[in-house]
Amino acid sequence: MTTTFPKPLEVERKWHIVDATNQPLGRLAVRVANVIRGKTKAEYTPHVDTGDFVIVVNAEKVKLTGSKEDQKIYKKYTGYTGGLKEVPARKIRATRPTMMVEQAVRGMLPKTRLGRQLGGKLHVYAGPDHPHAAQKPEPLSL
């Protein structure tokens, strides 16, 4: 008996839509990352892209529990001396609300070429509208 591995061209891909309204950020990110990786499918293989596409809407309404709104700090280094930029989550939510969800999900994907490829399957929008109606996304049960 031999083991069969799914080939990337043979994998059936679906589109899922998730409403982030009042969803805790970490729990939402785990569920979305598992769908993107393909862990919800029977033919999951760690080294093959077997995942689906995910659309996250209402990212500006994602919930941060406790006092993370003020205490959670997003850091970015510009590459220059003294170039460490620190921004609290409250300011990120006001300026770029999609960044919080994107960083949380991408942090849960592999840090390899496959992980970068999987990151392209995530589409995050601040409001309820998205341009992917032609793909007929199915609601993702969380």
Domains of the chain: total: 1
Asked if residues 41 and 14 have their Cβ atoms less than 8 Å apart, the reply is: no
pLDDT tens digits, 37-91: 999 999 999 999 999 999 999 999 999 999 999 999 999 999 999 999 999 999 9
Q: Is residue 40 part of a domain?
A: yes
Q: Is residue 99 part of a domain?
A: yes
Q: Is residue 73 part of a domain?
A: no
Question: Residue 32: which domain range?
Answer: 15-64+93-139
Q: Is residue 86 part of a domain?
A: no
| CATH number of the domain bearing residue 104 | 3.90.1180.10
pTM of the model: 0.91
Q: Is residue 82 part of a domain?
A: no
